[in-house]
């Protein structure tokens, strides 16, 4: 890459990202945020001079563009990727040779440092192999719960579950052991609940029954939720609008789970065998509405769980079969498909181009092509600057055709204007760090630039699943030099956890996100018991205490009389 191209790349990443992320002081981040306009001007100037990298040379506002280094740039195959509340990315999944294991290292990448750097690779000291586990951000404190994983026998993984839970702390980068789960779990799914607890289901070794992690880190078995008749492979589970967990397995069996107390499960039929499979990705693109790709064919359906029964409706099919693709919800509410191939985990009919689905029309738009095949064990993750990290693939127990120790960035079409240059972007100057369901809050931004305000759930991606991402559109109104936005009144539209807050201008261009936390909704405390009725006393008469004293004296006199009689 030439110096001019490196300047452009760093201008894009710095100017459009705003802040430098972890390790920077609040004041320095604020300063960087204020000069983003200067950086953006540099980008536009350089673009106008046609000093563009080959990766972005053909960018436009229909196809988008990729930034893809030629050389490997990841310390291992990133089988798992989680956006942490400070805007960095936690990854793990293989050793430096691409061998499947999470026993030795994990990595924290700062997107603001770009694809050529920003990695902090750390030793895993937990004695847990976290390969093929499930990661979820805890709504209580922003740490990452890693549930289960594999067993390292000294030379390789054994492809069976462990019952460990581990906690990654973004503040210090430490990965530490938590309490053990009630079951061993390899390929399980963990779902945050409205009360901050985590519902855990499936995984090899724990297929028979679900469990819950409470807010204190203790686990309890849900004896009322037997799951042995369901496929154990990463169940597709979401918090539903009614507060239960809705899900379906790889065999299309659909169900609701009430995780309270000992739990209960209700079967609701199936979503159609042709619409489901282990290799098919899903994304909640609106509250209670899920886009599901079959993976094994070109089918795409929408599953609506806002009513008493799930309703499955076909939408436009993909242009080709995408086995082991990823779905990413974008700040404008569209859904991006990346990766996959026509034959499972083989370099046959590789679909390394982007495809974007519009919920308003149900139509897919073909986008630009990336440089690498993204097969089994690849990931895609929305970043705070509204670009998408697409990475990994390989490190498979089945024998991968290629191990991708590599990540690239897809810039969706909204980054560009009609000339192919970078579009002007709205800016969030400030916003609250914590939000509540039903709350009104203020975003400091130029109201004349703002057409939409959106929230996207922070993602945690692996194995074609990224179940914590969800999209919510917020109502808003202009007030002077700021806007007043409204959180949804229905609390389950924005379950507790971490979200990327965007503003979008009338050209459809999003800002850089502010990462916000939606609080656990506290139930009002029960009313105090009524006070005891006051002791009644008549005017000038004896009180209750007087009567007790008199009764005591009477008992003393009676006892003395009995003693005298018996003398």
Q: What is the pLDDT of residues 155-186, one digit of tens each?
A: 999 999 999 999 999 999 999 999 999 999 99
pLDDT digits (tens, 9 = 90+) for 411-420: 999 999 999 9
pLDDT of residue 400: 87
- Quote the CA–CA distance of 296 and 396 in Å, as a whole number: 19
Asked if residue 338 lies in contact with residue 328, where contact means CB atoms within 8 angstroms, the answer is yes
pLDDT at 116: 93
The DSSP call for residue 156 is S
User: What pLDDT score does 56 carry?
Assistant: 61
Task: Tell me the average pLDDT across 491-512.
Answer: 98
Exposed, middle or buried: residue 545 (CB in 10 Å: 0-12, 13-18, 19+)? exposed
pLDDT higher than threshold 60 for residue 64 = yes
User: Is 538's pLDDT higher than 60?
Assistant: no
DSSP state of 94: B
pLDDT score at 543:
41
pLDDT tens digit string along 287-303?
999 999 999 999 999 99
Over residues 12-63, the pLDDT tens digits come to 433 333 333 333 443 444 444 444 444 443 433 333 333 234 456 568 899 9
* Cβ-Cβ contacts under 8 Å for 537 (sequence gap 6 or more): 543, 544
Whether 280 has a pLDDT exceeding 70, the answer reads: yes
Residue 536 pLDDT class (50, 70, 90 cuts):
very low
pLDDT at 60: 86
Q: What is the 3-state secondary structure (H, E, C) of 363-399?
A: EEEEEEECCCCCCCCEEEEECCCCCEEEEECCCCCCC
Instruction: Count, in order, helices (H) and strands (E) of the chain.
Output: 4, 36
Mean pLDDT computed over 251-263: 98
For the packed helices 26-34 and 36-48, what is the interaxial angle rounded to 10 degrees?
Answer: 40
Give the pLDDT of residue 530. 57
How far apart are the C-alpha atoms of 378 and 341, rounded to whole Å? 12
CA separation for the pair 302, 271 (Å, rounded): 10
């Amino acid at each position: 890459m030439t110096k001019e191209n490196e300047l452009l790349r760093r201008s894009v990443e710095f100017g459009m990202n705003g802040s430098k992320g972890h390790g920077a002081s609040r004041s320095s981040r604020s300063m960087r945020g204020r000069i983003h306009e200067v950086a953006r001007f540099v980008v536009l100037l350089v673009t106008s001079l046609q000093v563009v990298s080959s990766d972005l040379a053909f960018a436009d506002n229909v196809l988008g563009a990729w930034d893809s280094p030629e050389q490997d740039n990841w310390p291992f195959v990133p089988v798992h990727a989680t956006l942490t509340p400070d805007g960095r990315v936690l990854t793990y999944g293989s050793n430096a040779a691409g061998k499947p294991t999470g026993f030795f290292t994990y990595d924290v990448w700062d997107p603001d440092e770009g694809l050529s750097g920003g990695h902090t690779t750390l030793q895993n000291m937990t004695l847990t192999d976290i390969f093929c586990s499930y990661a979820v951000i805890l709504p209580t404190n922003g740490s990452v719960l890693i549930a289960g994983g594999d067993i390292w026998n000294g030379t390789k993984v054994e492809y069976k579950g462990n019952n460990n839970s581990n906690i990654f702390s973004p503040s210090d980068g430490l990965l530490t052991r938590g309490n053990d789960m009630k079951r061993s779990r390899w390929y399980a799914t963990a779902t945050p609940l409205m009360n901050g607890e985590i519902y855990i289901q499936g995984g090899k070794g724990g297929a028979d029954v679900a469990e819950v992690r409470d807010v204190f880190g203790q686990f309890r078995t849900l004896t009322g939720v037997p799951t042995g008749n369901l496929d154990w492979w990463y169940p597709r589970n979401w918090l539903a609008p009614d507060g239960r967990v809705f899900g379906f397995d790889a065999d299309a069996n659909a169900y609701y789970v009430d995780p309270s107390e000992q739990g209960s499960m209700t079967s609701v039929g199936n979503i159609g065998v042709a619409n489901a499979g282990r290799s098919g990705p899903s994304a909640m693109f609106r509250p209670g509405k899920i886009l599901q790709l079959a993976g094994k064919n070109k089918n795409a359906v929408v599953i609506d769980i806002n009513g008493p029964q799930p309703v499955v409706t076909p939408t436009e099919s993909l242009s080709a079969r995408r086995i082991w693709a990823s779905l990413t919800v974008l700040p404008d509410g569209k859904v991006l498909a990346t990766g996959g191939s026509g034959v499972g985990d083989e370099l046959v009919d590789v679909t390394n181009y982007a495809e974007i689905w519009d919920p308003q029309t149900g139509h897919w738009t073909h986008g630009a092509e990336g440089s690498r095949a993204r097969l089994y064990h690849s990931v895609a993750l929305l970043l705070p600057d509204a670009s998408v990290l697409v990475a990994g693939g390989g490190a498979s127990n089945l024998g991968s055709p290629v191990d991708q120790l590599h990540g690239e960035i897809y810039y969706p079409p909204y980054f560009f204007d009609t000339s192919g240059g970078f579009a002007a972007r709205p800016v969030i100057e400030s916003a609250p760090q914590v939000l509540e369901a039903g709350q009104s809050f203020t975003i400091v931004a130029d109201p004349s630039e703002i057409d939409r305000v959106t929230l996207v759930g922070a993602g945690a991606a692996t194995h074609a699943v990224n179940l914590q991402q969800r999209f919510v559109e917020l109502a808003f109104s202009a007030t002077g030099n700021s806007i007043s936005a409204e959180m949804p009144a229905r609390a389950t539209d924005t379950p507790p956890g971490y979200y990327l807050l965007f503003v979008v201008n009338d050209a459809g261009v999003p800002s850089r996100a502010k990462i916000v936390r939606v609080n656990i909704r506290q139930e009002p405390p029960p009313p105090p018991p009524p006070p005891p009725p006051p002791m009644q006393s008549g005017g000038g008469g004896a009180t209750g205490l007087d009567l007790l004293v008199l009764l005591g004296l009477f008992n003393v006199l009676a006892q003395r009389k009995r003693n005298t009689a018996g003398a």
